[in-house]
Amino acid sequence: MTFEQLRYIIEIQRAGTILAAAEKLNVSPPAISKAISNLEDELQINIFIRTKTGSYPTQEGERIIQLAQQILNCAEEMRQIPYQREKIALNIGIYPQEITELIPAIVTSLTEIVPHVDLTINQQIAISDIIVQLDEQKADLGLFSTAQLLLPFFNKNIVVRSLISSRFCILVSAKSPLAKKSFVSPADLLSYQMIIPTDPMIIKCLQEFFRPFPLPKCLLRTNDQMLMKKIVLTGTAIGTCSELLGRKDSLVQQNQLVLIPFKYQDEFLPMDYFYAYNSKKQLNQAEKEFIRILKTTCSY
């Protein structure tokens, strides 16, 4: 029995077929098939039922795969033991600033599990800055909110995983005529001035959201969320925000600012939250624990 065989059976269960698992693992299908057959012979158990449509675990096979995952997890923990004797650097890029509200609870849990972590949180001025830093391996993880439609434009080396879904909203002053609306469409906003971020990725996202309408007239370009909210508060312009973080804003809770879901072609537009990392680097214990705690925090 080898670690490779254990990785193979786990990936076959995930992928559904030997061919798909082989492509994921960059191993030939015959090599995987032979390795699984040897493991089944050694254990005297049929781990998979092979059909024309795919490979499916038997009842005993499901238990074997669960144990295989536990073994690989334990092996990884053993590899991380030397790193627990010294500081483990963890550099995280965040955008927008409001995501930092998730950090205190995560840090508390993380330092209990990985006491030697040396954590740095960098509030970036743009999503594109996070992607560049991940690509150059100057940051270990990135946390940001954006639309799914932008993901194909990211560097192929960057692994992006969804955390939680929200809705794209327009942020207006409580005194604005828009504040009474249950939702707004692009046509509703054409006569208003908007504060538009400088981040090229977010601009592209907004252009796609408003298409085929043009973006509203730009009053100011800035990625500073606090500045944006202060100007919106005056009623001079409108801004943008995700519903998830916007509801936690004190000005929204005090009914000074109003979040209005954005609707286009009878659909509310999603604005998801993601974490990302460079596929070329192997995640260490601190990074894996940060992601695990982050997922748990976002599920509440």
CATH number of the domain bearing residue 239: 3.40.190.10
The torsion angle over the Cα atoms of residues 205, 210, 214 and 218, rounded to 10 degrees, is -60
Phi, psi of 154 (to 5 degrees): -75, 155
CA atoms within 13 A on the CB side of 92: 29
Same domain? 134 vs 281: yes
Same domain? 58 vs 115: no
Q: Do residues 257 and 234 lie in contact, with contact meaning Cβ atoms separated by under 8 Å?
A: no
Same domain? 154 vs 290: yes
Same domain? 157 vs 172: no
CA–CA separation, 228 vs 235, rounded Å? 11
Q: Tell me the per-residue pLDDT of 157-180, one tens digit each, with 9 for 90 and over.
A: 899 888 888 889 999 999 999 999
Q: Which stretches in the chain have pLDDT values below 50?
A: none
CA–CA separation, 275 vs 90, rounded Å? 14
The last residue of a domain, from among 55, 81, 107: 81
Q: Tell me the per-residue pLDDT of 93-136, one tens digit each, with 9 for 90 and over.
A: 998 777 777 788 888 888 888 888 888 988 877 888 898 899 99
Same domain? 37 vs 68: yes
The last residue of a domain, from among 81, 96, 131: 81
- DSSP alpha helices (H): ranges in the chain? 3-15, 18-25, 29-43, 59-80, 103-113, 127-135, 186-189, 200-210, 225-234, 243-246, 250-253, 285-299
Residue 300: the pLDDT is 56
Same domain? 264 vs 195: yes
Same domain? 189 vs 109: no
Report the relative pairing of strands 117-123 and 168-173 from DSSP bridges. unpaired
The torsion angle over the Cα atoms of residues 187, 189, 193 and 198, rounded to 10 degrees, is -90
Q: What type of residue sits at position 71?
A: I
Same domain? 206 vs 260: yes
Same domain? 257 vs 176: yes
**For residue 163, how far is the Cα from the chain centroid?**
5
CA distances from 178 to 64, 185, 217, 232 (A): 58, 11, 16, 12
Residue 83: the pLDDT is 56
Residue 228: the pLDDT is 93
CATH number of the domain bearing residue 39: 1.10.10.10
Residue 86: the pLDDT is 65
CA–CA separation, 236 vs 173, rounded Å? 9
Name the one residue in this structure whose structure tokens are 């954590």. Answer: 119
Residue 230: the pLDDT is 94
Residue 104, token pair as written in the block: 């205190």
Indicate left, alpha or beta for 50 from its phi (over 0: left) and psi (-120 to 50: alpha). beta
Residue 82: the pLDDT is 64
Residue 233: the pLDDT is 95
Residue 84: the pLDDT is 58
Same domain? 179 vs 263: yes
CA–CA separation, 67 vs 61, rounded Å? 10
Same domain? 238 vs 112: no
The last residue of a domain, from among 32, 51, 81: 81
Give the total number of structural domains in the chain: 3
Same domain? 62 vs 131: no
Domain hosting residue 250, numbered range: 168-269
